[in-house]
């Protein structure tokens, strides 16, 4: 591909990513609001202990779902775009048929095991009998979640981003929130949490199935492959997917090690406090998710077509956008962790403010490794990614058992941030080694230095005013506005940024 065609292809893909990102943004924006309101109602109305029980139940459910998923949905996320790029639709149909059959059996077995072991897990690991009812009812969610994930993966792989975002981010959260409020109004206690979560998850499965059936009905048709091609196709698929089974398990283990360690060593009350900080720190993942919904399928499709220059340009541009948008949120949370926790969860949870300050550092760094992780996955290095997660999970678990008894929830936060730095550096090195791409630009240093100007002003103003809801919002808006103005006037935007801005301007004027 020559220089001109490469530039046109990059522009086309960037516009597609941004277009899908606006669709996802609407979904994510509403999703975060609804999800936070849902969590805040649970945290404020039922208290830290029940909130801790709910968090632990979600953790255990996630582990069982990861195990029984066998990595197949994640494998389809790579092979569907790959075969679509080559127009080999019979292979897609074949892989879907095989995946559905396997997952039906594995999900039923996993659900049965969780139901029967609910008492053992609750009493021996977390020493709390109130967790039993959560786990028993949540066990019925395992098949629902597995097939929901499968169908959502199909929608994403076929670039049905609007539907994917609506179902995952808006519909389920509206259902959870409305059912929770209704059941509380009717006088139900903790069971209102359980059933609201159950119904919100069920609606995903039903809606995703209907959308797949009517929007991409061709995937349910018959396939025509000879035995030799079937064998080669399934061998390639399973050799990539099964390592992702362990990757999913260790990824969830990695994500929930803190809550597990705190629950085991300190009890469910401390888990409730810690899980006031975690959702705020996880906001660092919103921007990568915005661009990532289409970034991963696009680079895999370009990889199948050997458009390596396009992949490099897309990778560096998306990394820059993640950095630009996450940096102001990161700095605001660093300055006002207690005020943000108090605003969202209430004064009972301010004990987690230092944990939040520590966590946001690790999660900010992890957001910058998003593109590197996708590039390593694009190269088919699922076993390497698995090894990364296994090693860092072991390190995280060891650090937790060393630091939590001494420093409490702050020790868990320190452990997680250290491990995120290690993992991010490993992914950056591996992306450079295997894909020959460093997705970070030098201009990021300039952007960071420029951000120090509004940061200094914010620190100065902070000393002279009382921090409350109104002042926090005004200070945040002042910082963000001055930050983006400085980025624009100091030449931090390149031709791709300006091209996207001009495209957006035309779209706004046209509308």
Same domain for 465 and 390, yes or no, is no
List the alpha helices (DSSP H) in 126-218. Answer: 131-138, 141-157, 161-165, 172-185, 191-215
- In the listed set 410, 441, 472, which residue is the last one of a domain according to the structure? 441
Tokens, residue 135? 């786990």
Report pLDDT digits (tens) over 393-452.
889 999 999 999 999 999 999 999 999 999 999 998 988 888 787 777 778 888 889 888
Same domain for 463 and 403, yes or no, is no
Same domain for 245 and 331, yes or no, is yes
The secondary structure of 45-59, three-state, reads HHCHHHHHHHHHHHH
Q: Count Cα neighbours of 317 within 13 Å in the Cβ-side half-sphere.
A: 25
Report pLDDT digits (tens) over 226-239.
777 777 777 777 77
* pLDDT for residue 292: 64
* pLDDT for residue 511: 44
* pLDDT for residue 417: 92
State the helix-helix crossing angle for 141-157 and 191-215, rounded to 10 degrees.
40
Same domain for 151 and 296, yes or no, is yes
130 membership: H or E segment, kind and range: none
Report the alpha-carbon distance of residue 297 to residue 305 in Å, rounded.
Answer: 13
Say whether pLDDT at 164 is over 50.
Answer: yes
Q: Count Cα neighbours of 435 within 13 Å in the Cβ-side half-sphere.
A: 33
Same domain for 483 and 424, yes or no, is no
Same domain for 60 and 196, yes or no, is yes
Say whether pLDDT at 300 is over 80.
Answer: no
Contacts of 261 (CB under 8 A, 6+ apart): 397, 400, 401, 404, 412
pLDDT category of residue 142 using cuts at 50, 70 and 90: very high
Domain count, the chain: 2
Report the alpha-carbon distance of residue 203 to residue 171 in Å, rounded.
Answer: 8
pLDDT category of residue 336 using cuts at 50, 70 and 90: confident
* pLDDT for residue 422: 92
Same domain for 499 and 358, yes or no, is no
Residue 441, judged by CB atoms within 10 A of its CB (0-12, 13-18, 19+), counts as middle
Same domain for 425 and 451, yes or no, is no
- In the listed set 397, 421, 441, which residue is the last one of a domain according to the structure? 441
Identify which has the larger pLDDT, 222 or 270.
Answer: 270
Say whether pLDDT at 373 is over 60.
Answer: yes
Report pLDDT digits (tens) over 266-299.
888 888 889 888 888 888 887 887 766 666 666 7
Residue 108, judged by CB atoms within 10 A of its CB (0-12, 13-18, 19+), counts as middle
Report the alpha-carbon distance of residue 173 to residue 106 in Å, rounded.
Answer: 27
* pLDDT for residue 425: 92
Same domain for 345 and 452, yes or no, is no
Report the alpha-carbon distance of residue 435 to residue 431 in Å, rounded.
Answer: 5
* pLDDT for residue 508: 43
Report the alpha-carbon distance of residue 359 to residue 214 in Å, rounded.
Answer: 43
State the helix-helix crossing angle for 131-138 and 89-125, rounded to 10 degrees.
160
Q: How many CB atoms lie within 10 A of CB 494?
A: 13
CA 377, 439, 162, 143 torsion-angle sign: positive
Token pair 């997917």 is at which residue? Answer: 241
* pLDDT for residue 359: 93
Please, what is the average pLDDT of the chain? Answer: 81
Report the alpha-carbon distance of residue 316 to residue 275 in Å, rounded.
Answer: 33
SS3 380: coil
Same domain for 26 and 159, yes or no, is yes
43-53: string of b/e by CB count within 10 Å (b at 16+)?
Answer: beebebbbbbb
For residue 446, the enclosing domain spans 442-511
> Is the distance from CB of 373 to CB of 362 less than 8 angstroms?
no
- In the listed set 441, 461, 489, which residue is the last one of a domain according to the structure? 441
3-state helix, strand, coil split of the chain in percent (to 5) is: 90, 0, 10
Same domain for 234 and 383, yes or no, is yes
pLDDT category of residue 49 using cuts at 50, 70 and 90: confident
Q: Mean pLDDT: which of 151-165, 257-271, 390-404 is highest?
A: 390-404
* pLDDT for residue 143: 92
Compute the average pLDDT of residues 147-161.
81
Same domain for 408 and 268, yes or no, is yes
SS3 489: helix
Report pLDDT digits (tens) over 94-117.
788 888 888 899 899 999 999 999
Cα–chain-centroid distance for residue 194? 23
Compute the average pLDDT of residues 456-481.
81
Report pLDDT digits (tens) over 165-178.
778 778 888 888 88
């Amino acid at each position: 591909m020559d220089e001109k065609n490469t530039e046109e292809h990059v522009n086309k893909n960037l516009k597609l990513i941004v277009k899908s990102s606006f669709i996802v943004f609407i979904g994510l924006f509403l999703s975060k609001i609804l999800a936070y309101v849902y969590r805040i109602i649970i945290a404020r109305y039922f208290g830290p202990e029940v909130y801790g029980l709910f968090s632990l139940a979600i953790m255990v459910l996630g582990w069982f779902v990861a195990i029984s998923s066998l990595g197949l949905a994640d494998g389809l996320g790579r092979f569907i775009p790959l075969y679509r790029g080559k127009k080999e639709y019979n292979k897609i149909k074949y892989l879907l048929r095989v995946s559905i059959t396997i997952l039906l059996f594995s999900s039923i077995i996993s659900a049965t095991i969780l139901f029967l072991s609910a008492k053992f897990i609750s009493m021996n690991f977390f020493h709390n009998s109130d967790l039993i009812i959560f786990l028993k009812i949540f066990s019925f969610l395992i098949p629902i979640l597995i097939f929901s994930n499968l169908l959502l993966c199909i929608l994403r792989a076929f670039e049905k981003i609007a539907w994917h975002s609506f179902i995952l981010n808006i519909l389920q959260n509206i259902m959870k929130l409305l059912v929770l409020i209704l059941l509380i109004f009717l006088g139900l206690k903790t069971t209102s949490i359980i059933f609201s979560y159950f119904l919100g998850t069920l609606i995903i499965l039903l809606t995703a199935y209907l959308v797949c059936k009517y929007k991409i009905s061709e995937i349910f048709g018959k396939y025509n492959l000879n035995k030799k091609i079937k064998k080669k196709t399934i061998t390639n698929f399973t050799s990539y997917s099964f390592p992702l089974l362990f990757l999913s398990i260790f990824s969830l283990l990695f994500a929930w090690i803190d809550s597990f360690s705190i629950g085991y060593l300190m009890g469910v009350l401390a888990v409730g406090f810690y899980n006031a900080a975690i959702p705020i720190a996880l906001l660092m993942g919103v921007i990568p998710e915005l661009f990532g919904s289409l970034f991963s399928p696009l680079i895999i499709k370009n990889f199948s077509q050997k458009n390596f220059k396009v992949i490099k340009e897309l990778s560096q541009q998306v990394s820059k956008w993640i950095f630009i948008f996450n940096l102001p949120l990161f700095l605001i949370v660093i300055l006002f962790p207690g005020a943000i926790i108090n605003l969202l969860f209430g004064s009972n949870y301010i004990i987690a403010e230092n944990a939040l300050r520590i966590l946001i550092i690790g999660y900010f760094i992890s957001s910058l490794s998003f593109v590197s992780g996708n590039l390593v996955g694009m190269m088919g290095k699922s076993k390497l990614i698995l090894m990364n997660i296994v090693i860092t999970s072991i390190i995280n678990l060891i650090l937790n058992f060393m630091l939590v008894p001494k420093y409490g929830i702050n020790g868990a936060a320190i452990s997680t941030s250290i491990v995120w730095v290690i993992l991010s550096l490993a992914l950056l090195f591996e992306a450079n080694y295997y894909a020959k791409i460093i997705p970070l630009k030098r201009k990021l240093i300039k952007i960071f230095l420029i951000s120090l100007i509004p940061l200094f002003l914010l620190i100065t103003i902070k000393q002279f005013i009382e921090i409350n809801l109104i002042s926090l919002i005004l200070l945040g808006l002042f910082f963000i506005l001055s930050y983006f103005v400085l980025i624009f006037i100091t030449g931090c935007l390149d031709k791709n940024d300006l091209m996207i801005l001009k495209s957006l301007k035309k779209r706004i004027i046209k509308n």
